C-alpha cells in the first residue's frame, strides 16, 4: 500500500455536501463523476496528497443507499493506492482477507478497484485502487 488514496463518505445529497465540504476544506471539489455500475455519483476533493470522495446513491439497491438506510451518512470506506492491484489481490488472499470481486472493476477517477469485505478487515470497508495507465 503506497498511501491512503481517498476516504469515501456516504451522503444523501451530493450538492448540499459539496457545499458543506467546500466550506469545511476551504476548497471546491475538482470533479464529479457517476459510476453507474456501483449506483453512485461521486465528487472528489483534493486534501494534500489524499482525497475526500463524497458518494450519493443513484439507485435504491446501491451499496450507498443500503449503508445510509441501515446506518446513516458518514464514513463509508477507506481506499488505498496500490502499485499493482493483482499483486495486492494475491497478497490479500494469502493474508486471509475476503476479496469481494474476483477481478478489478472500473472505479472513479481513472482507477481499477477491488473491495475487501469489512468482516475481514475489523469492520472497515477497504478499497484498493490502482491508477489506470494513461493512454497516449
Ligand X SMILES: CC[C@H](C(=O)O)C(=O)SCCNC(=O)CCNC(=O)[C@H](O)C(C)(C)COP(=O)(O)OP(=O)(O)OC[C@H]1O[C@@H](n2cnc3c(N)ncnc32)[C@H](O)[C@@H]1OP(=O)(O)O
Q: How far is the CB of 91 from ligand X (least distance, A)?
A: 19
Asked whether position 113 contacts ligand X by CB under 6 A, the answer is yes
Asked whether position 127 contacts ligand X by CB under 6 A, the answer is yes
Residue 38 binding partner per list ligand X, Co ion, none, with a CB distance cut-off of 5 to 8 Å that depends on partner kind: ligand X
Angle value at C-alpha 73, between 21 and 60, nearest 5 degrees: 115
Asked whether position 45 contacts ligand X by CB under 6 A, the answer is no
CB–CB of 111/129 below 8 Å?
Answer: yes
Q: How far is the CB of 94 from ligand X (least distance, A)?
A: 21
Q: How far is the CB of 121 from Co ion (least distance, A)?
A: 14
Task: Provide, for the chain, the percentages of residues in helix, strand and coil under a 3-state DSSP scheme, each rounded to the nearest 5.
Answer: 25, 40, 35
Closest residue to ligand X, Cβ-based? 107
Amino acid at each position: 500500500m503506497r498511501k491512503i488514496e481517498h476516504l469515501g463518505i456516504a451522503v444523501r445529497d451530493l450538492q448540499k455536501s459539496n457545499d458543506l465540504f467546500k466550506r469545511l476544506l476551504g476548497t471546491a471539489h475538482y470533479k464529479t463523476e457517476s459510476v453507474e455500475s456501483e449506483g453512485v455519483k461521486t465528487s472528489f476533493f483534493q486534501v494534500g496528497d489524499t482525497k475526500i470522495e463524497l458518494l450519493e446513491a443513484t439507485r435504491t439497491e446501491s451499496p450507498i443507499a443500503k449503508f445510509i438506510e441501515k446506518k446513516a451518512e458518514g464514513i463509508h470506506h477507506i481506499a488505498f493506492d496500490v502499485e499493482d492491484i493483482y499483486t495486492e489481490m494475491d497478497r490479500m488472499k494469502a493474508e486471509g482477507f475476503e476479496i469481494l470481486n474476483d477481478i478489478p472493476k472500473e472505479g472513479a477517477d481513472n482507477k481499477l478497484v477491488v473491495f475487501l469485505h469489512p468482516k475481514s478487515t475489523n469492520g472497515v470497508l477497504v478499497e484498493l485502487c490502482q491508477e489506470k495507465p494513461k493512454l497516449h
